[in-house]
Each structure stands twice: as C-alpha cells, then as structure tokens.
Amino acid sequence: MDVHEIPTPAPVIQWPAFEANLAAMSAARPGTSLRPHVKAHKCTSIAAAQAERGHTAFTCATPGEMLGMIDAGLGDDLLLANETVDPRRLAALAARQDDASITVAIDSDATLAAAALAGIRRCLVDVDVGLPRCGCAPSDAGRLADAARSAGLEVRGVMGYEGHLMMVPEHGDRRRQVSDAMAALAGAHAEVGGDIVSAGGTGTFDMYDGTTVTELQAGSYALMDTQYATLGLPFHHALTILGTVIAVKDGYAVADVGLKALGMDHGNPTIAWEGTAVWFCSDEHVTFGTGELQFTVGEHVQVLPAHVDPTMAMHEIAYVVEGDTVVDEWPIDLRGWS
C-alpha cells in the first residue's frame, strides 16, 4: 500500500526513526536494565521489536495489557506497575501464572489483600517518591513487604515512579532531583529486600549512575511526542497522525485530526510543516493557520501529537512506513479496558 492510500486519521510510524529510537535506548539501557512500558504504545508488535533487542521484561499499566502480552507470547516477566483491587481482573491474571511470570505492584494493605485473595504469587512494593499518585510512604515499605511475605507472596523488590521530574527542563537539575528521589527509593529497598529497584521513564533514561536502580520503565522513547522533544533527548519523532485537509479558508485550513484522534492533555499538536500554527482542535478537526503556505483540500498532513500514550490508545491500527510505502500494519491490540 502507498502511504497516500491510508484512511485518515491514522497513526503512522516512520520505521527508520522507530528503529533508531530502539537502538539508542538499547545502547543506554541494554537487556533487562530496560523494562519497556507498553502503555506508551499498547501494541504487541512494538513490544516484540523491543523483546528482539533483548528487553524481555515489560511494564504494564492495566491487567488487560498484561493478558494481551501473555497471549502474544511476551510473558517472560511482566510487571503490573499500577494498583488494582478488581477481584475479577486479578483472578484472570492469577489464572495465567503457570504460562507467564506475573508481578503486581502493591502500596497498601488493601491492594495487598486483593492480590493475595486472588492468588497472585509475586509482588513489588510501590513507593511514593514524590509524584502525588500511588505508592506507599517510604517508611511503610518494609512493613508492607513483611505483610506480603506473611500472606505468602514473593516480594521481588520496589518500584518508585518519579513522574513529576520527567519534564524538569534543565538536565543537571533533573538529575539532582532524580537522585534525591532515588535515595528515598533506596532507603525503602533496604527495608523491603528483593532484586528489583524499578523506576524512571524516557525523560530520565540517563540519570541512574550511582543509584541502586536496576531497571528503567521507559515507554515513550520508542515513538516520542512533542512534549518530550523539548528536552533534547536522543529520540526522534517516529509517530505522526496522518490527516487529510478537508477545508481551506483565508489564512487557515482544517484537517480531520481532532480531539478523538489525539491525546491533548499536554497541549495542542503540531502540524509537521514549518510556517503552520495550530489554532485549536475540536472533536474531529484541527484548525491551523497556514501562514504563507498553500494547502489544497484532499492533501495529507502529518500531525505530531503532544502526548503519545493517550494518542495511541485512540486508534486501532498503526501503519508502519518507509518512504512512501506502507511496510506493515500493527494492531494496537492492548487498548481497551477488558
């Protein structure tokens, strides 16, 4: 198929940039020192490409992602790095423990009790390292690990996601703050024990020398987005949402890539034509100023998302392209809430 035949709006992955991103991260975090987060792409074909490079342990955000990874034969070592108390979903995971290695994050007596009741065998203590989200207080981690062991679970170690630091603009500043957060995680790990200290993301991929962190949970690096691009990381835009221009007016044009095709929590997307400026998005439309440029109805535009994770979750198929040729179609098969 030619790229011009792709029905829009649609995610398009530039194969050379994708390959380069995977290679750059593998060089920095080889093998299982990277535990790629699948929530950033929700696509087992991408996970398989990551596994081919030696990253055979994965991070997931939902039980459904875990089950999809097992079904795809990628269940060597799966971490649910998110809390769940849903007995049905935990039981569905527990039922697959003979086919796959399943570890779930716990951060409270309630999440531990739910995991134990469902028959989950392995856990990791999720520690609050400063992001106001999940995670127990570092001072409570040892007690929770003891309680988990008493309930019969294996405790593999700790995780602490310092998401509040991913976008600290200056590299040295970011590194210093990450190092403080990781000192809190190391303190918790000393009380918890186990082999795993799991942390970080794309924005902090190079910040763990001299810390006890054993693995990085990055996901966005594979496809990238305009927010992360502001940090000057060695990863490039591999994902665009292909759109079609459906109206051309005096000074602006409209394409069919709107709120229902883009994660917008990090702001407006960018049209990949210098001289254009996005004015706003509505449900099915992006309206952009055309400056000196001429557009015609029916032509394609490439739209760069500001946040890759929710963008991918809105689509069913990603088209992999090299030049003008579609070389593959990858189902975004980990989407949904089942």
**Which residues on adjacent β-strands are paired with residue 215?**
198
Interface residues with ligand PLP (CB under 6 A)?
Answer: 37, 40, 59, 81, 161, 163, 166, 201-203, 217-221
110 CB-contact burial (10 Å; exposed 0-12 / middle 13-18 / buried 19+)? exposed
Which of 220, 244 has the CB closer to ligand PLP? 220
Which of 40, 207 has the CB closer to ligand PLP? 40
CB of 217 to ligand PLP, least distance (A): 4
CB of 16 to ligand PLP, least distance (A): 21
Name the residue with the smallest CB distance to ligand PLP.
201
Which of 83, 256 has the CB closer to ligand PLP? 83
CA pair distance 317, 221, nearest whole angstrom: 19
CB of 77 to ligand PLP, least distance (A): 15
CB of 338 to ligand PLP, least distance (A): 20
Angle between helices 44-52 and 15-28 (to 10 degrees): 50
CB of 203 to ligand PLP, least distance (A): 6
CB of 69 to ligand PLP, least distance (A): 15
Per the CB < 8 A criterion, the answer to whether 58 and 44 are in contact is no
CA distances from 48 to 40, 99, 164, 199 (A): 14, 17, 29, 22
CA pair distance 218, 59, nearest whole angstrom: 9
How many CA atoms lie within 13 Å of 187's alpha carbon, on the beta-carbon side? 14
CA pair distance 226, 41, nearest whole angstrom: 15
170-178: long-range pairs with CB below 8 Å, 24+: 171/231, 174/203, 174/204, 174/207, 175/207, 178/204, 178/207, 178/208, 178/211
Task: Give phi and psi for 110, each to the nearest 5.
Answer: -70, -45
Which of 142, 201 has the CB closer to ligand PLP? 201
Which of 107, 333 has the CB closer to ligand PLP? 107
Which of 81, 286 has the CB closer to ligand PLP? 81
CA pair distance 35, 264, nearest whole angstrom: 26
CB of 308 to ligand PLP, least distance (A): 7
CB of 78 to ligand PLP, least distance (A): 13
CB of 134 to ligand PLP, least distance (A): 8
Which of 187, 310 has the CB closer to ligand PLP? 310
Per the CB < 8 A criterion, the answer to whether 295 and 10 are in contact is no
Which of 7, 232 has the CB closer to ligand PLP? 232
Task: Give phi and psi for 225, each to the nearest 5.
Answer: -150, 175
Beta-strand relationship, 270-271 and 239-248: unpaired
Per the CB < 8 A criterion, the answer to whether 110 and 84 are in contact is no
Other CB atoms within 10 A of residue 248 CB: 16
Which of 245, 312 has the CB closer to ligand PLP? 312
